[in-house]
Amino acid sequence: MCGIVGFTGKQNAAPILLEGLKKLEYRGYDSAGIAVCKDGVISVSKVSGRIANLCEKTENGANMPGHSGIGHTRWATHGAPTDINAHPHMSCDGRFSIVHNGIIENYLELREELTAKGYAFRSQTDTEVIVHLLEMYYDGDLKSAVMKTTSRLEGSYAIGVLCADCPGTIMAVREASPLILGIGVGENFFASDVTALVAYTRNAIYLDDGEFAELTPERITVYDCTGTVIQKPVSRITWSVEAAEKGGYEHFMLKEIMEQPRAVKSALAPRIQNDQIQLDDFSFTKEDLRGIKKIVVTACGSAYYAGCAGKYAIEKLCHIPVDVQLASELRYGEPQIDSGTLLIVLSQSGETADTIAAMKECQSLGARVLAIVNVVGSTIAKLVDNTLYTWAGPEIAVATTKGYTTQLSVLYLFAVYAAHTMELLSQQEYLRLIRELQSIPQKIQQTLDMNITLPQLAKKYNTGHSMFYIGRNTDYAAALEGALKMKEISYIHAEAYAAGELKHGTIALIDEGQSVIALCCNRHIAEKTMNNIVEVKARGAQVLALAVKGDRAVLAQADDVIYIPGLDPLFQSVAEIIPLQLLAYYAAKENGCDIDKPKNLEKSVTVE
Ligand code: G6P
């Protein structure tokens, strides 16, 4: 997740900006940069890689004098992690420099408009449109240029602005991306989280969405979106630096679970414009798509389970058979793959050794490849022609959460896009599915808000023995990932079974007090799983069911019910995994496990 800092005061800005950026390193980044203003001239220094490189380049800030400045750590989304794509970005006339955190959803439109007007783009970022808009709207009034610019932006943004005409002034703008102002004595600051501020001040103003602020060494003025001055309360920062890094959450995993509405929105919203799905960096034509005879999805771990869940949507909407294969198996198998195969590779890190090997094997057999990865510029992304990034931001906890839900969301998006392009959907159905996709972030948020009893349920169902997860169809796919989460972080033996398979063996394992998590969210098939609940209950199991809000029938069968909001059954897995992530989290917490770094596991398995 990108990080922003800003400073204005009497001291040299650069060393303070560098210190602030170091405090934001924990958020993950792949490039960094600072800009300072001195005597009406802005100088910029930026590097790909570590902040240590930036310190070296700027001699710890000593070779960049100036008393006001902005800084940034970038986690690449739009454009590879290169020096040019790193922030700050400069306007063509050198008057403005900006840093940005978030995603500008309408950047393609704006980029076209600005290019036609003669503004030369240097980077591949969505951010650069902001600095050119500022230049275009500036007529000597910085505040008005900022307001006109933000009125054109759609998406989420925290922006820091430096203007050569106003030395000593820095501007901060917030819309759906955090930005905090730090109040000093004869100096003021902003930062995307309090970690970067606590060394200098504990007095802060939290900007709300739509607000912006002008900071000088002596004063902070906050405006609402109409430009009217507003009075904001000053808050006292009481967090320790440790707690601040996790955004106040006890673990990165919990923070990342809670981030999912925003992460999924980042993956979906920029690709749905004016009721149309637009897939950046996916070059398949209608004929190409119609020529696909088979889709093979390959991945490892949770990414493999995302493929299992996405398969249903692709097969149903695109009428193409989908074979989901573990990369570690595919690479040593005899894959029936040729030029009529589309291989979809899923990987959060883009570096998993088995996934890369399976992909290369399939490429050598003639398959065309679509990669869905999170880390921009990763090995997988570099090796394929078509990459859709998940734009989830860095994931720090070893067990993936937002990595999985964003992969799945992009698979859904692909399914609807491909079906529409192949003319398999009526206009009405296409629009309905788009609305469903657009509702996913909100449904995830509602799921998070609804289930406050999960810590108690985790305690009740964590009996020290195995847990069985059962479900059918999309519920089964979610059960696979739910059981994996439980195993990975709580070390409880957990297995997922297709509910219909129970009577073919597994039911022999059901005894008094056995915990069974029954997923009954897919309305087409939930009734069948309810029969399985009756079967396991008859043998003494305690059953925690997952169902769609309003489903009262399940209450009569299960001991406890977790409700989630309804989605089209094809997309239901993305919401139903949320309580299962939390169930695993609370069980692990109860077991005293090292949740962010489970024993024996690695975040990125780069060797076989
Ligand atoms: C490791 C991680 C899992 C992840 C898997 C695949 O096992 O602990 O959370 O699902 O690798 O990683 P990838 O980066 O390829 O998605």
For the chain (608 residues), the mean pLDDT of every run of 10, in chain order, is: 92 97 85 96 95 95 97 91 95 98 92 97 96 98 98 94 96 91 97 88 92 98 97 84 77 95 94 92 93 97 98 98 97 91 95 93 95 88 92 89 98 98 98 98 95 92 93 97 97 96 89 96 92 94 96 91 95 97 97 90 75
Q: Is 386 in the pocket of ligand 1 (CB under 6 A)?
A: no
Q: Which residues, other chains included, contact 168 with Cβ-Cβ below 8 Å and sequence gap of 6+?
A: 8, 37, 67, 68, 216, 217
Q: Is 359 in the pocket of ligand 1 (CB under 6 A)?
A: no
The answer to whether the CB of 401 falls within 8 A of the CB of 256 is yes
> What pLDDT is recorded for position 25?
85
β-pair type (203-206, 180-183): antiparallel
Domain(s) labelled CATH 3.40.50.10490 in the chain stretch across: 252-443, 454-590
Cα of 583 vs centre of ligand 1, distance in Å, is 20
Q: How far apart are CA 584 and CA 427, in angstroms?
A: 41
DSSP per-residue letters across 307-321: HHHHHHHHHHHH---
Class of domain 3-244: alpha beta
Site to substitute for ligand 1 among 298, 300, 305, 372, most atoms within 8 A of C-beta:
300
Cα of 299 vs centre of ligand 1, distance in Å, is 9
> What pLDDT is recorded for position 242?
67
Closest CA relative to residue 548, chosen from 524, 527, 523 = 523
From the CA of 373, give the closest atom in ligand 1: 16
Q: Is 2 a catalytic residue?
A: yes
Class of domain 454-590: alpha beta
Q: Is 398 in the pocket of ligand 1 (CB under 6 A)?
A: yes
From the CA of 299, give the closest atom in ligand 1: 15
From the CA of 403, give the closest atom in ligand 1: 16
Cα three-residue angle 491-496-500, rounded to 5 degrees: 160
First to last CA, the chain: 29
Laid out side by side, the sheet with 155-163 consists of 89-90, 96-104, 155-163, 170-175, 212-215, 220-223, 229-230
Tell me which amino acid residue 439 is. Answer: S
> What pLDDT is recorded for position 601?
83
pLDDT digits (tens, 9 = 90+) for 397-424: 999 999 999 999 999 999 999 999 999 9
Cα of 53 vs centre of ligand 1, distance in Å, is 29
Site to substitute for ligand 1 among 400, 411, 581, most atoms within 8 A of C-beta:
400
Task: Enter the tokens of residue 503.
Answer: 């009577």
Q: Is 515 in the pocket of ligand 1 (CB under 6 A)?
A: no
- pTM here? 0.81
Q: How far apart are CA 567 and CA 440, in angstroms?
A: 8
**Catalytic residue chosen out of the listed positions 143, 232, 537, 603:** 603
**Catalytic residue chosen out of the listed positions 2, 37, 308, 318:** 2
> What pLDDT is recorded for position 164?
97
Cα of 129 vs centre of ligand 1, distance in Å, is 34
Q: Is 143 a catalytic residue?
A: no
Cα of 25 vs centre of ligand 1, distance in Å, is 22
| Domain 252-443 in CATH 3.90.245.10 | no
Cα three-residue angle 117-118-120, rounded to 5 degrees: 130
Cα of 382 vs centre of ligand 1, distance in Å, is 18
Task: Enter the tokens of residue 319.
Answer: 């009428």
pLDDT digits (tens, 9 = 90+) for 197-250: 988 999 999 898 899 999 999 999 999 999 999 999 998 887 766 666 787 899
Q: Is 347 in the pocket of ligand 1 (CB under 6 A)?
A: yes
Q: Which residues of 254-272 are buried (b: 16+ CB within 10 A; e: fewer)?
A: bbbbbbbbbbbbbbbbbbb
